[in-house]
Structure 1
Amino acid sequence: MSTVEPVHRTSKAKIVVFWLYVMIPLAWGVYNTLSQAMKLFH
């Protein structure tokens, strides 16, 4: 007989903090890349 462990719920605050931790540097990198690319076309 197999045992099933209960699923632990992740708080929404932790999820928001994680996505901010990922998205802020990503957005900064995209912004810098686009601003540097614009210098090539001016």
Structure 2
Amino acid sequence: MSPQQATGSATWGPLQWVGAVLAWLWVGVPFAYGLYELVLKIPALFG
């Protein structure tokens, strides 16, 4: 058995990349939208 087989694959497969991208989008899109809405409301605090 090679050392790479003993520790698992060192590179990600396509399905793992898709999962990682979807996970980041799942968190990033709502966060970016919330940040955008917050920035829009900042002038009302000082106006």
Runs of 5+ unmatched residues, structure 1: none
Give 2:3's aligned residue. none
1:2-41 matched pairs, under 5 angstroms: 11-41=16-46
Higher relative contact order (CA 8 A, sep 6+): 2
Instruction: Output the CA distance in 2 between the equivalents of 1:32 and 1:15.
Output: 26
> Which of the two has greater helix per residue?
2
How large is the Cα RMSD of the aligned pairs?
1.7
Report the TM-score when normalising by structure 1. 0.67
Percent identical: 27
Runs of 5+ unmatched residues, structure 2: 1-5
